[in-house]
Chains A and B, each alone.
Chain A
């Protein structure tokens, strides 16, 4: 019952993290990857000694390709991000690298995305997030249509959305901050991760709400006059073990993915882990107590 009784503490904790995330987003802004803004990414692996960063910078400056970012990746490679390069410019880049490096090198990965394709994807990603949220509110309103007493079914939807916002903004804030520190970028995989978190967050919240729904109908059948606060508290307690255990099982697989998985999905796994923790927290400590808060506002 502590979950519902002490809800102000949990709300405050969430609110602080939420505010910090918003602050991080506003202060540092999104570092979009070439997926969204277009450009060329080149990953070069050197055999033998890795040339110094200054050496490569000097060579890149000589090429007239405008601003670029150069980051070492692992122990034997560099990632070079530039504006969209034409066919000839790509060949020039290869020749330049050849001229500065005495050791052999391989272009492991090169991606070029045109600016229009990037902008288009940006629009599509925004739309996808909006559509997911809208569909889920509609679905919850529908699924809980029979329990409009004592709290209207759309308020279950509203509580879910607040929990959703919480689960998406906090990992985003953290990633924007990490992006500032380590150069993580907002790419398509990041948006995919956010949408997966959205799905999980709702999945988790529904399980708790379903228990509230069931307890309400049991009370109704038995003519039990139970306080709404008590019903919600009881439901949270009953689903507590399940919420934690499901999170643990998913956490185990994500941790394996983070520790042993491919480099390409490492940040993705980290994002999902943060989202998972936020999602589990919010379905227990945010969404359900919010129902009680909505109910108490109704009474006033």
Chain B
């Protein structure tokens, strides 16, 4: 037994463990399930454009926006929602900051939009010095004409609750700001004593109290003419998320569950049929090395699927197409090596030498051609909406993983079984093509 035999046995054991993992992790409740895109399981995707023109800390604002939306979606009870932000800029190629919300299983798009869009925007604004004159002159003056933002928004809110005025028993909403908000609130109330600080919710003035004194404890009350129910729902909405910045729906997509399921089944079926047809071709044409390349291909599939579970890669219809395509491409390295080995066999070298030479000589072209494929995959990933990203990721990972399986794995097995002799039968088994010798 040579060292290749031992490595082969190790690899086979590894394959068994990998398969065991793949099967086990398919059971419900596993922490490594496949993650499927909305086009395969059905659901709703909403892409929002965030208006960051009025904030300085764009990254921070987007992060808190994401948190707020997550809280909102969670109380709605969607299983495994996916909320992402995408920044603007040269690298991403986006012109604006985006928020992407994926809601698997939700197929009522209007309900979904309502769920997210209904979040209130709470802001505090100071009246301009000549605000009364402006209103006199132009009774239809907009909020922007009369007030200017006081830097204080719902973003800095840590808690809201309903309280009742001890004398009138009228419901009020009390607000607690976080430490950052507390500082801003103190600064605003200190610098603008005696002025009007309007509380505006979703573009409507709720109340216009006059600042009596500096407020340094970060607490405020809204005394609108609320009914207890209104106060309660306002508090709930504020707690579950007052949006730090305005967002606008820029695109939406809903896919029915049955359509997704059919696409998933079809993808799996195409993959299995493709794999079997490919294996038949490889074994008929490449004989014994063909069998080995099929074994390497089984490794490739098992390893890729495990990587998809670990990263995790969101599998979409396009992603599955990418993976099926990569199965075909993964064989390329083997084809290159076997064809090269055949040339060497023809020159009269023995089987072992021929395959050594085959691996050695094919390496450069495998390397260079795969680098070109990886460049393409990277750029596709950059281009990506979720469908294209899935394709790019499965294709790119496929190239990397296939370099390992088609070279390392198939080399180990080949040399483990490569015979010493040069009998015609042995030569036949290790040669390829239509001819018999």
A residues with a Cβ closer than 8 A to B are: 43, 45, 87, 90-91, 106-114, 116-117, 120-121, 123-125, 127-128, 131-132, 135-136, 139-140, 143, 188-189, 191-192, 195-196, 198-200, 202-204, 206-207, 210-211, 214, 238-239, 241-242, 245-246, 248-257, 259-265, 268-269, 272
Please give 16 more A-B residue pairs, beta carbons under 8 A apart, in addition to A111-B251, A250-B332, A253-B277: A43-B259, A108-B256, A109-B256, A143-B368, A192-B387, A199-B395, A200-B329, A203-B369, A204-B369, A241-B339, A249-B328, A253-B324, A256-B274, A262-B270, A268-B321, A269-B321
For B275, the chain A residues whose CB sits under 8 A away are 253
Determine whether the beta carbon of A91 is less than 8 Å from that of B387: no
Minimum CB–CB distance for A39 against chain B, Å: 10
- Residues B257-289 near A (CB distance < 8 A): 258-259, 262-264, 266-267, 269-271, 273-275, 277-278, 281-282, 285
Minimum CB–CB distance for A211 against chain B, Å: 7
Chain A residue with the shortest CB-CB distance to B282: A249
Number of B residues, CB within 8 Å of A: 74
Determine whether the beta carbon of B379 is less than 8 Å from that of A114: no
Determine whether the beta carbon of B252 is less than 8 Å from that of A261: no
Determine whether the beta carbon of B369 is less than 8 Å from that of A206: yes
Chain A residue with the shortest CB-CB distance to B333: A246
Which one, A90, A139, A198, contacts B110 given CB within 8 A?
A: A90
Q: Secondary structure at chain A's binding surface: helix, strand, loop or mixed?
A: helix
B216 close to A (CB within 8 Å): no
For B278, the chain A residues whose CB sits under 8 A away are 249, 252-253
B9 close to A (CB within 8 Å): no
B73 close to A (CB within 8 Å): no
Q: How far is the CA of A242 from the CA of B252 in the complex (A)?
A: 45
Q: How far is the CA of A135 from the CA of B379 in the complex (A)?
A: 10
For A123, the chain B residues whose CB sits under 8 A away are 93
Determine whether the beta carbon of B266 is less than 8 Å from that of A198: no
Chain A residue with the shortest CB-CB distance to B248: A114
Q: Which of B63-71, B231-239, B370-378, B414-422 contacts A (4 or more CB under 8 A)?
A: B370-378
B354 close to A (CB within 8 Å): no
Determine whether the beta carbon of B332 is less than 8 Å from that of A272: no
Minimum CB–CB distance for A98 against chain B, Å: 15
For A112, the chain B residues whose CB sits under 8 A away are 251-253
B26 close to A (CB within 8 Å): no
Q: How far is the CA of A135 from the CA of B250 in the complex (A)?
A: 32
B113 close to A (CB within 8 Å): yes
For B343, the chain A residues whose CB sits under 8 A away are 238
Minimum CB–CB distance for B376 against chain A, Å: 3
